[in-house]
Amino acid sequence: MQLPEIYDLVGSELEETRSLLRQLLCSEVPAIAQMFSQINICGGKLLRPALVFLSGKICGGICRKHIAIAAVLEMVHAATLVHDDVLDEAWQRRYHRTINSLHGNEAAVLMGDLLFSQAFYLCSSLDCKITSQRIASTANTVCEGELMQLCHRGSYDLSEAQYLEIVSRKTASLMAVCCYLGARAAEAQEEICQALESFGHNLGIAFQIMDDITDLTGDEKVTGKTLGTDIVKEKFTLPCIHYLGHCGPEKTLEFQELLSNPSNSTNNILFDRLTQTDSIDYAYKQACSYSQVAQESLSVLHQTDLREGLIRLAQSVVSFSRQGIA
């Protein structure tokens, strides 16, 4: 099963989500309506809604509640992306210019807030305390993860455990809650909800490690988003953490000097160093290992096309041709 086929398993639900998002993300103020269209939320592949629907369908079926949950979670995700692009001074996202690059940081901060409050509004309409609280506490966890990452910028002694804690919060928590709530809204037993939550969590970690590798080694034309921002912002991710843990004091000093005086050749030298210590390979193997744990979480489920779809999704996250999935 290839990625388009996996998405096809929940194609009509994704279309309903797009339609709901288009309906919600509009404004009678023309300038705001224009910025909503430039955020281009429906232009993404809607990985998080897909997780909600695949988890729901695997547990019995999709109802109206699933569509709303999926839209809320995608809006929370979009809000964090809009603010992330401000923090990263990113120029491109989903093959389009970012809001901050088009309209400035101030407009991007406010548009992110508007997305948050729209998510909050739709979430209220669910009229389900447990679902709302889970979504709100996850939004909180995501923000805390982003803040922890910010506080650790420039920390040459960031440990792998600290990195994984940040990744768990800022990325994995949202994918985990997509799967958990998808299953729960289909009235699955708690044990099954938690198995899917574990799938989402481990998928999220694998996804973020791959995203971080791509930021160091990828091609902007292929990914459709600004890359290389982690190094510029001294945000050290798994390959660099591994390198700094293995290169010795002399090379650490060289690394620090390289980053404090960046030039056109910085990226090439860096790539060369990371390759010498097999640091990119190490990070890739870690991502594969989380993808494997994600797949194993699904062993409690019957073998169906839908389970196969989730397994293939976890495999595709660690494939280097996966730039299209999120």
**Chain residues in the site for a copy of itself (CB under 8 A):** 27, 29, 31-32, 35, 79-80, 83, 86-87, 105-107, 109-114, 116-118, 120-121, 123-125, 127, 129, 132-133, 135-137, 139-140, 142-144, 146-148, 150-151
Rounded to a whole number of angstroms, the minimum distance from the CB of residue 151 to a copy of itself is: 4
- Which residue lies nearer to a copy of itself by CB, 112 or 200? 112
Rounded to a whole number of angstroms, the minimum distance from the CB of residue 58 to a copy of itself is: 26
Rounded to a whole number of angstroms, the minimum distance from the CB of residue 81 to a copy of itself is: 12
Alpha-carbon distance of 42 to 121, in angstroms, equals 19
How far the first Cα of the chain sits from its last, in Å, is: 18
Rounded to a whole number of angstroms, the minimum distance from the CB of residue 158 to a copy of itself is: 14
Q: 196, 182 in Cβ contact below 8 A?
A: yes
Q: 204, 172 in Cβ contact below 8 A?
A: yes
- Which residue lies nearer to a copy of itself by CB, 29 or 161? 29
Rounded to a whole number of angstroms, the minimum distance from the CB of residue 108 to a copy of itself is: 9
Q: List phi, psi (to 5°) of 96.
A: -125, 160
286 is written with which tokens? Answer: 């870690």
**Residue 129 DSSP class:** H
- Which residue lies nearer to a copy of itself by CB, 151 or 269? 151
Alpha-carbon distance of 189 to 304, in angstroms, equals 18
- Which residue lies nearer to a copy of itself by CB, 137 or 319? 137
Rounded to a whole number of angstroms, the minimum distance from the CB of residue 141 to a copy of itself is: 9
- Which residue lies nearer to a copy of itself by CB, 31 or 250? 31
- Which residue lies nearer to a copy of itself by CB, 55 or 138? 138
Rounded to a whole number of angstroms, the minimum distance from the CB of residue 67 to a copy of itself is: 18
Rounded to a whole number of angstroms, the minimum distance from the CB of residue 121 to a copy of itself is: 4
- Coil, strand or helix: which one is 151? helix
Contacts of 271 (CB under 8 A, 6+ apart): 216, 217
Rounded to a whole number of angstroms, the minimum distance from the CB of residue 97 to a copy of itself is: 18
281-to-14, 87, 124, 240 alpha-carbon distances in Å: 35, 28, 44, 12
Residue for token pair 């594969």: 288
- Which residue lies nearer to a copy of itself by CB, 82 or 216? 82
Bridge partners of residue 92, in order along the sequence: 97
- Which residue lies nearer to a copy of itself by CB, 149 or 291? 149
Helix (H) or strand (E) holding 96: strand 96-97
- Which residue lies nearer to a copy of itself by CB, 16 or 88? 88
| Residue 217 burial class via C-beta count within 10 angstroms: exposed 0-12, middle 13-18, buried 19 and up | middle
Nearest to 137 by CA among 184, 110, 169: 169
Q: Is 128 left (phi over 0), alpha (psi -120 to 50) or beta?
A: beta
